[in-house]
Amino acid sequence: MTTDPVTGTTRLHVGGAAPYDVLVGHGLTGTLLAGLPAMLGEDAQRVAVIHPRTLVARATALREALLREGYDARTIEVPDGEAAKQAEVAAFCWSVLGEAGFTRSDAVITLGGGATTDLGGFVAATWLRGVRVVHVPTTLLAMVDAAVGGKTGINTAAGKNLVGSFHEPAGVLCDLESLTTLPHNELVSGLAEVVKCGFIADPRILELVEADPGAATDPTSPELRELVVRGIQVKIDVVVDDLRETGGSGGHPGREALNYGHTLGHAIERAEDYRFRHGAAVAIGMRYVAEVARLAGRLDDETADRHERVLDLVGLPTGYRADRWDELHAAMKVDKKSRGNTLRFVVLDGLARPTVLAGPDEELLRTAYERIGTPAQSR
């Protein structure tokens, strides 16, 4: 990782078979334009900017800048948030690329949150079996997580992210200016993934949040910038070792570690018909799986209790409807970590020691849920 002393832009390198850089800085449009041929590919002529309605002004400005650079540029507006992650929306994007005559040397830019980078990444992965994609994440969550590592996907009636592919971007540009227009609850949602990185790999993240939760939720603070860079670094370290989630080595679960809190989290999102923020659902999922690990005799009380404390400090939820266990339990069975009828959870053996717990006792799972269940009136 390097930081340019003049511009202050931090560059993190993602190694592997298709290496790329993640840039974190302020006002990065100029950087994007300066680095375009390298990122979009020397031969790219056509570029499509996929974005939600909320970012139409920024997408239009980017398109105009691309036109000035000589690209045949267009914008593709997709539904906001999770509504973008549907087969019909991918099909709409494919039709636009088809009408515009997109070839294998042309490229996609995604501009938006994780829902947009997941959908746009999937469109780029599948059009002609793969064209280049550059992500310009505009939410905290997308910067620290969704835009890095190449997981793309859409939802189906059966569950979250059940169709997708691994398709690494050619570059990622995190413009911290974007965070100043982000609603506070969206920023807090992104912090859940940052806190996740703290529990699975980098405890300094937890210390920073605990020391000053106000700074951690202030889009202009140096603390948040450090949290962004640390979160991205954790993600890079994990994915370079196990891009396709085939497993880690030396007892480490590999990429599955990044799924900490997601087994229950995804089930909650589905139960809420995807109207619940991803980060909020993952926060509840982390608190739950800390209770699972405690009950299984794997996690010490101090680390288990720390989950509720740190998540609470930044305003993330740590409980969910007590009456929903049966539905959530059923939904967890289609989690990608499941093998046959065996549910598998990422748990901690201790701080920054993730591991997989396969086939835990059903009573244990229910008891852990009773500990986080909230009565109807507190919702």
Ligand X SMILES: NC(=O)c1ccc[n+]([C@@H]2O[C@H](COP(=O)([O-])OP(=O)(O)OC[C@H]3O[C@@H](n4cnc5c(N)ncnc54)[C@H](O)[C@@H]3O)[C@@H](O)[C@H]2O)c1
Ligand Y SMILES: O=C(O)C(=O)C[C@@H](O)[C@H](O)[C@H](O)COP(=O)(O)O
What residues form the annotated binding site for Zn(2+)? Answer: 193, 262, 278
Nearer to ligand X, 159 or 373 (CB): 159
Query: Is 85 near ligand Y (CB under 6 A)?
Result: no
Could you say which of ligand Y, ligand X, none residue 255 binds, taking C-beta under 5 to 8 angstroms by partner kind?
ligand Y
Binding site, annotated residues for NAD(+): 80-85, 114-118, 138-139, 151, 160
Within positions 330 to 349, which residues make up the interface with ligand X, using CB under 6 A? Answer: none
* 210 catalytically annotated: no
Within positions 230 to 269, which residues make up the interface with ligand Y, using CB under 6 A? Answer: 255, 258-259, 262
Nearer to ligand X, 153 or 360 (CB): 153
Q: How far is CA 342 from CA 161, 231, 299, 338, 376, in A?
A: 19, 30, 21, 6, 31
Within positions 106 to 165, which residues make up the interface with ligand X, using CB under 6 A? Answer: 112-116, 118, 138-139, 141-142, 145-146, 149, 151, 161
| SS3 state of residue 51 | strand
Nearest-angstrom CA–CA distance, 316 and 85: 24
Backbone angles phi, psi at 146, to 5 degrees: -65, -35
Query: Is 171 near ligand X (CB under 6 A)?
Result: no
* 327 catalytically annotated: no
Residue 317 near residue 189 (C-beta atoms within 8 A): no
Q: How far is the CB of 262 from ligand Y (least distance, A)?
A: 5
| SS3 state of residue 52 | strand
Q: How far is the CB of 270 from ligand Y (least distance, A)?
A: 12
**Rg of the chain, C-alpha, whole Å:** 20
The H or E element spanning position 72 is strand 72-78
Residues 6+ apart with CB under 8 A from 288: 261, 264, 368, 369, 372
- Catalytic amino acids? 129, 151, 193, 235, 245, 255, 259, 262, 266, 278
Q: Kindly list the residues in this chain that would bind ligand Y in the complex (CB under 6 A).
A: 145, 149, 151, 161, 193, 255, 258-259, 262, 336
